[in-house]
Amino acid sequence: QVQLVESGGGLVQPGGSLRLSCVVSGSIFRVYDMGWYRQAPGKQRELVAVITVGGTTNYADSVKDRFTISRDNPKNTVYLQMNSLKPEDTAVYYCNTRRQNFQWGQGTQVTVSS
């Protein structure tokens, strides 16, 4: 059974940085396009970054030039480097495949506040 375990969230001031990690166990990680999603209170979950099997990346306009997604296939891990954080980035962050093939993990809370 596939498990998604996100970590790295926390409380950070505006303009700060965080690096999120997601370990994917129990699957052939390298064959999937992976994404980072987020869900703010009262809002729907949204896709913010994608990395394909080949390493091509795409970002939502709201995070472009501030967030960087990467993957380490031997470690079955996908990362999200978040810089220049804004209060509107506050949300629970999740990883999954681009097609949301797997059951969602618990996510990791990111709070941007002074």
What does the pLDDT look like over 29-76, one tens digit per residue?
889 999 999 999 999 999 999 999 999 999 999 999 999 999 999 999
Which regions of 1-114 does DSSP assign to beta strands (E)?
3-7, 10-12, 18-25, 34-39, 46-51, 57-59, 67-72, 77-82, 91-97, 108-112
Lowest-confidence pick of 4-13, 22-31, 35-44: 22-31
The pLDDT of residue 23 is above 90 = yes
